[in-house]
Amino acid sequence: MASALVRFEGVRKSYAPGQWAVHELDLDVRQGELLTLLGPSGSGKTTTLMMLAGFELPSEGRILLEGRDIAKLPPHKRGIGVVFQSYALFPHMNVAQNVAFPLEVRGIGRAEREERVRKALATVRLDGFAERRPSQLSGGQQQRVALARAMVFEPPIVLLDEPLGALDKALREEMQFEIRALHQRLGITMMYVTHDQAEALTLSDRIAVFSQGRIAQLATPRGMYDDPQNAFVAGFIGENNLLPGKVRSVTDGVATVALDCGPEVVGRVVDAGGPGSDCWLAIRPERVAVAPVEAEALGEGALPGKLQEAIFQGDHTRLRVTLGNGGEIVAKRPAGGGALPDPGGPAALAWSEGDARVFRR
C-alpha cells in the first residue's frame, strides 16, 4: 500500500466568498487501502468525497487519480464507483439489472455482463437474488446490491458515503464486518465517509479526522486512539476525560498540571504551552484505576474522590466519580475487576503518567 492512487494537492472548496468548506487539503489515498474520512457534520469530509466523485468541483487545487488530474472531469468520465446511504437503486429494475447498469452504459456485451453480474452477486453473498426487485430486499441486502453495482465495472476506487446510516444498530455492525472482509479479500481501494467513530475504528486501515475543513490528524485506528495529537481528536475518538487546568511546569516532556477542580496531576505533553498556559489533561476511562479506599491508602499520586454512580454495562461497569472541587471523571472497570466503592463512599483514583496527555486549551 505504498503508492498513492489518489492525491489531493492544495484543494480548497468554498460555497461563499471567504467561507471555506475545505482548507488547503493535501491527502494521499494509498493503493489497496480503506481510508475513512471521519468527523462531525460540516467538517468537510463529505465535501472531500464529493469532489473526488465529481459531484462537487474544487475551488482551488488538483485532484489526481492514477497520476491524472481529474478535478474538472464530469463524474461519468472518472470511472469511480460510488455507494450512497440511500442505496439509489432503480425500483423498476431487478437486482441483476441494477448491477448490470454500469456495464450497459459502458457498452459491455451481454455475455460478459451476465458473467460479471453473477460474480459480483456471489462476492456480496446474493446468489439467487438476481430476479428480485429492491422492494423485496432487506436494507442490508439492498446495500449489498449497491456495493455490487459499484464494484462490477472494476473501478480503481470505490467511494462510500455514510453507506450504513439507514440501517439499525445490529445490521450496521454486521455490515461493517462484511465490508471489511470484502475489502481485505478483494484488495480494492476504498474511501469511506462516516461520523461514527466505532465504525471508523472497525473498518479502516487509516483514518483522517476532519475538523472545520481541515485534517486534524491522519493515522491508523490504533495510532489515532492511543496517540491523539490534539484535544479535538482526543475528545472525538472514543471516550476521553478532558479535565481543564493550567500547566505548572514541564520537565523532559512531562507536565505538572493544576486542575481547575483542585488536584495537581502529571501527564505527557503532546500539544501544550509553557507554564501558566491553559490546558486539558486527557485520560481514557479504561486507564483510570478506582479503589474503594481513601486516597492516602494508595500512597503518593492517588487522587481522592467520591463515587456518584456505577452503571453495569455487561462487559464493564461505568463509574462516575467526583474529583476535587466540582470536577468529575469517568472510569471503566472490566467485569470481575474487583470490589467497587459504595455510592457516596470514598474512591481513590490513579493512572499511569504515560496514559495521561496534556493539550493546549
Does residue 297 have a pLDDT over 70? Answer: no
Buried b (16+ CB within 10 A) or exposed e, 99-133: bbbbbeeeebeeeebeebbeebbebbebeebbeee
Residue 181 CA neighbour count, 13 Å, CB half: 9
Instruction: Decide if 277 contacts 246 (C-beta within 8 A).
Output: yes
Instruction: Summarize pLDDT for 126-164 with one digit per residue, the tens.
Output: 998 999 999 999 888 998 999 999 999 999 999 999 988
The mean pLDDT value for 43-49 works out to: 96
Instruction: Decide if 356 contacts 283 (C-beta within 8 A).
Output: yes
Instruction: Decide if 167 contacts 135 (C-beta within 8 A).
Output: no
The 3-state DSSP class for residue 106 equals coil
The confidence score (pLDDT) of residue 30 equals: 96
CB neighbour list of residue 3: distance below 8 Å, 6 or more residues apart:
30, 31
Buried b (16+ CB within 10 A) or exposed e, 346-355: bbbbbbeeee
Residue type at position 142: Q
Residue 21 CA neighbour count, 13 Å, CB half: 19
The confidence score (pLDDT) of residue 245 equals: 95
The confidence score (pLDDT) of residue 87 equals: 79
Buried b (16+ CB within 10 A) or exposed e, 208-241: bbbbebebbbebebeebbeebbbbbbbbbbbebb
Cell of 204: 479502516
- Please state, in angstroms and rounded to a whole number, the distance separating the CA atoms of residues 309 and 100: 56
The confidence score (pLDDT) of residue 292 equals: 87
Q: Where are the alpha helices (DSSP H) in 152-230?
A: 169-186, 197-203, 221-226
Relative orientation angle of helices 95-105 and 110-123, to the nearest 10 degrees: 130
Instruction: Decide if 97 contacts 166 (C-beta within 8 A).
Output: no
- Please state, in angstroms and rounded to a whole number, the distance separating the CA atoms of residues 8 and 25: 6
Least confident of 18-27, 39-48, 205-214, 299-308: 299-308
Instruction: Decide if 346 contacts 305 (C-beta within 8 A).
Output: yes
Q: Where are the alpha helices (DSSP H) in the chain?
A: 45-53, 95-105, 110-123, 139-151, 169-186, 197-203, 221-226, 231-236
